[in-house]
Amino acid sequence: MATLALNAVNKYFRQQHAVKDVSFEVKEGELISLLGPSGCGKTTTLRMIAGFVEVSSGTVELAGRDVTYDPPYRRNTGMVFQNYALFPHMSVSQNIAFGLRMRKAPKAEIPGRVQRALNLIQMAGYEQRLPRELSGGQQQRVALARALAIEPAVLLLDEPLSNLDAKLREDMRLEIRQIQQQVGITSIFVTHDQEEALTLSDRIIVMNEGAIMESGDPLEIYSRPASAFAATFIGHTNLVEGTVQAHEGRHWVVKSASGLVLRCAQRDGLAAGDRAMVLWRQERMRLQVHESPPEPDANSVAAEVVLVTFLGPTIEYICRASGHELRVRRPNEGSLPRLQPGHSVRLVVDPADCILIKY
Ligand SMILES: Nc1ncnc2c1ncn2[C@@H]1O[C@H](COP(=O)(O)OP(=O)(O)O)[C@@H](O)[C@H]1O
Ligand SMILES: [Mg+2]
């Protein structure tokens, strides 16, 4: 049974259609991410689940019960916010106990539940500290403990890591994932950060302009995106628009207006003459400097290096080929000579790595 289900949920703020016909289910123990750019309706969706924002139409079901018109305190959701939202004048213990008292947990149980929550976030010993005496990461862990202490049916996290610096953000996302799996709590994680969504989630729901574009597990969304939006929002992608020419064996041949020809893995629902986009990941393309033996099945195009950017573990090359700017990311492992703008190279990509999207 799904722990949470949204059915055709819409939200209008006056004329603005902020959330459009959103439906999805979350299974027990699953962590799903709502991923999309700022303003696409993620927070509004989360707040409709928590009951802070009323739906314009549609229904919300929690643990098999229709809660669409229930007030927040009757929904049994726990929420963690970007800005932590701890009570500044309360100690760590008091902050965690607060939610339990509001929900009328038996008084005798409260100290034990506070302690268990503190152990979970590995902050036993910090009971008496005030929020201002903690680092940002510690404050966010206390906020997480406060949300978990009430043992909600669903944990809702709204960009909880966005106020932390890059290194801490990486550590914290692993910690959140570990705690989530340890407790086995059904969770929705809202983020605009694709890397966060890819590392944390069982499943990602990609949103744009209030609507769901697609959903899938991280590997699927990354490797075989079904929409140009997801392909370009997640990861680093090359995109060439063209016309489907014909199919050759197992491949479609697509030609761009400026004459770049690419072979792509066979895909259903296409016909010669269709307009299509060909997309492929930057790290899937190879870059050859010297004449190499031809790879008969691969796409291979002559190109000129325009810009080389050193990114630490990888190097990005921007190249021009038949009027298109193509980007290649290669590991920084010393197998390529130092290339300069103006160098001639060959770019090679397998048809199996080229995703065709009709438009
Ligand atoms: N209380 C509100 N009143 C009016 N408009 C709102 C309100 N909350 C959000 N919006 C609008 O709804 C859209 C979606 O916002 P939001 O859900 O916060 O997006 P996200 O969390 O993805 O950045 C935005 O255009 C925002 O300006
Ligand atoms: Mg938001």
Domain boundary among 177, 206, 227: 227
Specify whether 48 is located in the same domain as 160.
yes
Specify whether 168 is located in the same domain as 151.
yes
1, pLDDT greater than 70: no
- When pLDDT is cut at 50, 70 and 90, the band that residue 295 belongs to is confident
Q: What percent of the chain has pLDDT over 70?
A: 100
Q: How far is the CA of 220 from the centre of ligand 1 (A)?
A: 29
Domain boundary among 196, 227, 258: 227
Mean pLDDT over all residues of the chain? 94
278, pLDDT greater than 70: yes
Specify whether 13 is located in the same domain as 140.
yes
Task: Give nearest CA residue, ligand 1 atom 8.
Answer: 44
Task: Give nearest CA residue, ligand 1 atom 12.
Answer: 18
Specify whether 182 is located in the same domain as 327.
no
User: Does residue 41 have its Cβ closer than 6 Å to ligand 1?
Assistant: yes
pLDDT value, residue 335: 80
Q: How far is the CA of 237 from the centre of ligand 1 (A)?
A: 28
Distance CA 92, CA 131 (A): 7
Q: Is the dihedral of CA 69, 71, 73, 79 positive or negative?
A: positive
Distance CA 285, CA 262 (A): 13
Task: Give nearest CA residue, ligand 1 atom 7.
Answer: 13
Domain boundary among 227, 244, 265: 227
Lowest model confidence (mean pLDDT) among 33-47, 184-198, 238-252: 238-252
Q: Which long-range contacts (CB under 8 A, 24 or more apart) does 218-223 make?
A: 222/198, 222/281, 223/281
On whether the pTM is more than 0.75, the answer is: yes
- Domain CATH for 269: 2.40.50.140
Closest listed residue to residue 305, CA positions, set 335, 339, 276: 339
Specify whether 12 is located in the same domain as 74.
yes
Task: Give nearest CA residue, ligand 1 atom 4.
Answer: 13
**Whole domain around residue 103: which residue ranges?**
2-227
Distance CA 322, CA 103 (A): 65
Specify whether 218 is located in the same domain as 260.
no
The atom of ligand 1 lying closest to the CA of 190 is 21
How many domains does one find in the chain?
2
Give the range with max mean pLDDT: 29-43, 161-175, 261-275.
Answer: 29-43
Q: How far is the CA of 163 from the centre of ligand 2 (A)?
A: 13
Of 11, 13, 53, the one to substitute when testing ligand 1's pocket (max ligand atoms within 8 A of C-beta) is 13
Specify whether 288 is located in the same domain as 339.
yes
Specify whether 161 is located in the same domain as 31.
yes
Distance CA 324, CA 328 (A): 13
Specify whether 197 is located in the same domain as 94.
yes
Q: How far is the CA of 35 from the centre of ligand 1 (A)?
A: 15
Ligand nearest to the CA of 162: 2
Task: Give nearest CA residue, ligand 1 atom 26.
Answer: 39
Ligand nearest to the CA of 41: 1
253, pLDDT greater than 90: yes
Q: Could you give the strand order of the β-sheet that contains 154-158, starting from the edge strand earlier in sequence?
A: 77-80, 154-158, 186-191, 31-35, 203-208, 211-216
Ligand nearest to the CA of 159: 2
Higher pLDDT, 358 or 44: 44
The atom of ligand 1 lying closest to the CA of 41 is 17
User: Does residue 305 have its Cβ closer than 6 Å to ligand 1?
Assistant: no
Distance CA 317, CA 282 (A): 9
Q: Exposure string (b/e) for 82-110, b if CB count within 10 Å is 16 or more? A: bebebeeeebbbbbbbbbbeeeebeeeeb
Residue 126 near residue 92 (C-beta atoms within 8 A): yes
Specify whether 204 is located in the same domain as 315.
no
Of 12, 44, 233, the one to substitute when testing ligand 1's pocket (max ligand atoms within 8 A of C-beta) is 44
- When pLDDT is cut at 50, 70 and 90, the band that residue 298 belongs to is very high
Specify whether 213 is located in the same domain as 286.
no
Task: Give nearest CA residue, ligand 1 atom 24.
Answer: 39
Specify whether 195 is located in the same domain as 73.
yes
333, pLDDT greater than 80: yes
Q: CB within 8 A of 296, min separation 6: which ones?
A: none
- Domain CATH for 35: 3.40.50.300
User: Does residue 18 have its Cβ closer than 6 Å to ligand 1?
Assistant: yes
- When pLDDT is cut at 50, 70 and 90, the band that residue 111 belongs to is very high
